[in-house]
């Protein structure tokens, strides 16, 4: 199979066109604003120019606040669907693999819990993510700092966040 940019050295316009081609990620509509809780009366005062400005602002914010992490996760899924091994060398998992090539369950500093996602978006604990019979490829991992317990979809055990669930009131002795 010929690579799409094969035969076109860097600097060649066809090579540049292949590598710099953009693909749309998302769009925003007035319906989205209503779905987010804004009234139709309020939303209808926005012109198309206002909506375009809002979209640009969202794009800039997203690039600064989560785009790269989401890109790593989504790329991991896309590579896995192509049958490419993404566990080792996957930037989304770089900090979660120990010297033996196993996924860790807790961070080495602080002992924070880690959860993993596979290509089906199943949440897994470190033990289940390492199981040889794990059917779907692991594509992402993250430290679980705060929130309600997550149930590992492999073993059913809870993955407890490091700082608990902020939605639950503090218990006083």
User: What pLDDT was estimated at residue 45?
Assistant: 93
pLDDT tens string 110-166:
999 999 998 888 999 999 998 877 767 788 889 999 999 999 999 999 999 999 998
Ramachandran angles phi, psi of 115, nearest 5°: -120, 160
CA distance 142 to 94: 11
Question: For residue 2, what pLDDT is reported?
Answer: 43
Of all residues in the chain, what percent carry a pLDDT higher than 70?
80
In the block, tokens 């690579």 appear at 3
Report the alpha-carbon distance of residue 89 to residue 113 in Å, rounded. 21
Q: Could you tell me the CA-to-CA distances from 150 to 11, 79, 153, 155 in Å, in that order?
A: 49, 26, 9, 12
Q: Which residues pair with 106 in a beta bridge?
A: 113
């Amino acid at each position: 199979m010929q690579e799409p940019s094969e035969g076109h050295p860097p600097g060649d316009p066809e090579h540049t066109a292949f590598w710099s081609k953009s693909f749309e990620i998302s769009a925003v509509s007035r319906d989205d604003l209503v779905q987010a809780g804004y009234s139709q009366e309020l939303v209808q005062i926005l012109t198309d120019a206002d909506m375009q400005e809002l979209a640009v602002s969202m794009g800039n914010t997203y690039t600064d606040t989560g785009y790269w992490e989401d890109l790593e996760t989504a790329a991991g899924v896309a590579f896995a669907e192509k049958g490419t091994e993404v566990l080792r060398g996957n930037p989304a998992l770089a900090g979660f693999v120990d010297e033996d090539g196993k996924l860790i369950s807790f961070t080495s500093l602080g002992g924070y819990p880690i959860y993993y996602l596979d290509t089906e978006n199943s949440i897994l604990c470190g033990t289940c993510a390492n199981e040889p019979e794990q059917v779907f490829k692991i594509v992402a991992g993250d430290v679980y700092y705060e929130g309600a317990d997550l149930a590992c979809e492999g073993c059913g055990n809870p993955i407890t966040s490091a700082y608990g669930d902020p939605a639950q009131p503090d218990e006083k002795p």
